[in-house]
Structure 1
Amino acid sequence: MTLGLTTRLLHADHFKGVEHGATHEPTHTAVAFGYESARDLAAVFQGDRSGHVYGRQGNPTSAALERKVSMLEGGTGTVTFATGMGAIAAVLLSLLRRGDHLVASRFLFGNTSSLLQTIESLGCEVTLVDATESGAVAAAIGPHTRMVFTETVANPRTQVADLAGIGRLCAERGILFVVDNTMTTPYLFQPAAVDAGLVVNSLTKSISGHGNVLGGAVTDTGRFDWSRYPNILPPYRKGPAAGWGLLQVRKKGLRDMGATLSGEAAHRISTGAETLALRMDRACDNALRLATWLSAQPGVVQVHYPGLEAHPQHARARELFRQFGALMSFELEDRRDPFAFLDALKVVIKSSHLGDNRTLAIPVAHTIFFEMGRERREAMGIAESLIRLSIGIEDYADLQDDFAVALAATA
């Protein structure tokens, strides 16, 4: 019998077997793990048998969550982290070396862009391109290119990367393709379908969904041949090559850097993930209806949402994704004050978070993209009046009424 996604998530711990017949893996808080035999302890340390050696490298509760994320992404294994940025940092810092070249989308999330500047300062070359065109990626690839990094849907302008084209290109050239799947979630899209080797998810966002816990994950899809990757260190070239990359990410990116997901956080994310499909269905439906309505309102210059037929990558999003996601943004006409508009909203929360059950709004140019400066914002198409929305699961009529009042108040 083939079970659906939600059924498998709900029963993952139960089917594996949990002590005392519990339906959830309990919250493990132990930092140390003892073994009856010193040889067994040594075997776990050396990677010759499974087990836990120290809480910084994970615990049974985070291991249970890792199995669920692997199941969601159709991957071969997952490593969890304290935050999504911790997961991205682990990938870049554990798999790249001085002299390597990274190609990345120029529409990346601001903190990821900031991290790439750090990577450059450590001796890696970074080239930012328009990832909506695989040809731009191809033109940037050189002899030292080790990795291509992009997001599925860009925050906040919702550009959809040419994921299939970039995946084919990387597969042909033996380059590691890393995809941040946070904005779509594995419910709407699995990057393994476009030959991504590693997938990053901010578990803080829609996977946990309730805005009450931080977490991140890196999943190996099994699509990349790690025996061809020159940066795998000798200690991690153990066993089948398929496990080398993730082992190095766990050892160098988690053990050495210490961005460990706690047992309490792992349990909260795991239970939140059980309703991922239900929440995303509702949020995506709300987003499409609101985007359609907003695009017809006086005072709204443009709405950026892949579900709209006018969106430049609408056809691509329709082909790749189950639905169009819960992220959108829109621009107000110049004579309207975006701060006054936001302050007129009563249901929508003014917040920088994403993927919450509640709808959230933020003035982009004045907050999360403020440090970039006006010149770079203009180059990225970030208008001064741009408002980003993360759509939640409220009753749709209440959302539409809230925006209607705000538009009327700033007319």
Structure 2
Amino acid sequence: MEKQGITTLIVHADRHFGVEHNAIRKPIHSSVQYGFDKVEDLIGVFQGTVKNAFNYARTGTPTTAALESKLTQLEQGIGSICFASGMGAIAAVFLTLLRAGDHLVSSRYVFAGTNSLFGTMSDLGIDVSMVDACSVANVEAALRPSTRMVFLETIANPGTEVPDLAAIGALCRQRGLLLVVDNTITSPALFLPRSIGAGLSINSLSKTIGGHGAALGGVVTDTGEFSWETYPNISADYRRGDTKQWGLQQMRKKALRDMGASMSSEAAHQIGIGAETLALRVHQTSSNALALARYLQAHPAIKSVNYPWLESHPQHEVAKRHFSAGSWLLSFELRDLSSMLPALNRLRVATRATGMGDTRTLVIPVAPSIYWEAGPEVRAKMNIGDGLVRMSVGLEEEQDLIDDFEQALR
């Protein structure tokens, strides 16, 4: 089949893979157990000699497998594993591929849940160095003989910092390090981590790809860019078969079978439907976000606006080079901190809520909510001021959003 656009690919994916009873969309398979005519086949599923079969829903169902196939195509990878949430996917990568004594280098500008997870990892003997990844020099200076992995977010939540993506990718290739990229904010509609040599791409499916705030989910996609035979932490049990599948095998066994961070078939079905409008939503929300960012930047009540598509953004050129649009995420600060909460309370279209990547515009003051537990010292290192407001821009009409902020800021 000739190469197709992202929307054509995703809306026809199920029927091209083959669906029961000539349906055009994969049905929801709610069964937890799966039976076999011969016990030898059941044994073969456990031992990996029988492929494309299921034995227990904790390690996958036909519905989650269909979603994994779609996501693999979107990321142009070689395989994917779905999890119950985005944090489940991130934890799976770190806790199944790193061991006590290993070292991880991460951008210091990361999601609050990821930052909290780093504390748990340190308690388990995995050392984490958090650096300003907007410069490759900072990443390189942090590397040690025990470094196994480098972790980045494409656009940082909530400050919108953009790492030195191409240079860090080249550094990791040169040093033989596994580069892991959280692609949630951009999604495959705006950026492919494999283009910079990332071995693994992570997406919180609850956000951009699912897009409607209707189902939790996460996914890890192997891009095929990393050579697992050189990675020392693959257990002997999983050093069998296709070497490109070793990382996924270990994650599926350790994170799904052992830890149980499994996605339900119902969530997979809902996310699969949401993904069909991915490209349409991303480009509309990016357009809305840019219009709002420009409006806010010119407003006398606003102290600063963070959005990669603004020419004033420190990493504007890096963002333009790598991404096809600016995404739906922006943040801003008011000049008068005392006016922040009253202004947010006056919003009528935008919703005061946590979460991101929804069809609706969502706003939240960051420091006293999602980053409150991190404390002032960590917030300062992450450039999160007390008055920073995060906004996930939705699909509402552009002028309605601008009018809403005009009356709220007045």
- In the alignment, which residue of structure 1 is the partner of 2:82? 80
Find the counterpart in structure 2 of residue 267 from structure 1.
269
Q: Is the 8 A contact 2:92 2:251 kept in 1?
A: yes
Matches within 5 A, 1:6-405: 6-50=7-51, 51-334=53-336, 336-405=338-407
Contact preservation (8 Å) 2:116, 2:374: no
SS of 1:185's partner is coil
RMSD: 0.8
- Give the gaps of 5 or more residues in structure 1: none
* C-alpha distance in 1 between matches for 2:130 and 2:279: 33
Greater displacement, 242-251 / 13-22: 13-22
| Residues 190-234 of structure 1: per-residue CA shift (max 9 Å, x gap) | 000000000110000010111110000000000000000001011
Q: Secondary structure at the match of 2:400?
A: helix
Q: Distance in 2 between matches of 1:376 and 1:254?
A: 32
Deviation at residue 2 of structure 1 after TM alignment: 2.4
Return the alpha-carbon distance in structure 2 between the equivalents of residues 374 and 337 of structure 1: 21
How far did residue 375 of structure 1 move? Answer: 2.8
In structure 2, what is the Cα distance between the partners aligned to 1:194 and 1:81?
25
Contact 1:299/1:336 (8 A) holds in 2: no
Q: Is the 8 A contact 1:177 1:196 kept in 2?
A: yes
Which deviates the most, 366-375 or 244-253? Answer: 366-375
Work out whether residues 70 and 77 of structure 1, in 8 Å CA contact, stay in contact via their aligned partners in 2. yes
8 Å contact 2:337–2:387 — kept in the other structure?
no
Identity rate, percent: 52
Secondary structure of 1:219's partner? strand
The separation in 2 between residues aligned to 1:185 and 1:133, in whole angstroms, is 22
- Preserved CA contact (<8 Å) 1:189 1:320: yes
How far apart, CA to CA, are the structure 1 residues paired with 2:50 and 2:227? 23
Q: Describe the SS at the equivalent of 1:389.
A: strand
Distance 2:393 2:113 in 1: 21
Q: Distance in 2 between matches of 1:25 and 1:335?
A: 50
Letter of the 1:377 counterpart: R
Unaligned runs of 5+ in 2: none
Q: Please tell me whether the aligned partners of residues 285 and 395 of structure 2 are also in contact (alpha carbons under 8 angstroms).
A: yes
SS at the partner of 1:376? helix
Letter in 2 for 1:291: A
Distance 1:335 1:16, change over 3 A: closer
Amino acid paired to 2:309: G
Q: Tell me by how many angstroms 1:29 deviates.
A: 0.5
- Looking at structure 2, the residues matched to 379 and 95 of structure 1 have their Cα atoms a distance apart, in angstroms, of 27
Q: Secondary structure at the match of 1:201?
A: strand
Structure 1 residues 253 and 335, CA gap change in structure 2 (3 angstroms): closer
Shift of 1:334: 2.4
In 1, Cα distance between equivalents of 2:119 and 2:334 = 32
Secondary structure at the counterpart of residue 188 of structure 1: coil
Normalising by structure 2, report the TM-score: 0.98
Deviation at 1:4, TM superposition (A): 1.2
User: Which secondary structure state, in structure 2, belongs to the residue aligned with residue 295 of structure 1?
Assistant: helix
| Deviation, structure 1 residue 49 | 2.0
Change (3 A) 1:203 1:339: same
Distance in 1 (CA, whole Å) between partners of 2:359 and 2:216 is 15
Return the alpha-carbon distance in structure 1 between the equivalents of residues 291 and 189 of structure 2: 20
Describe the superposition over 1:95-114 as per-residue Cα deviations: whole angstroms up to 9, x where unpaired: 00111001011111111011
Secondary structure at the residue paired with 2:42?
Answer: helix
TM-score by length of 1: 0.98
Higher alpha-carbon deviation: 331-340 or 265-274: 331-340
Residue 336 of structure 1: how far off its partner (Å): 4.3
C-alpha separation in 1, matches of 2:212 and 2:15: 23
Cα distance, 1:374 vs structure 2: 2.2
Aligned length: 408
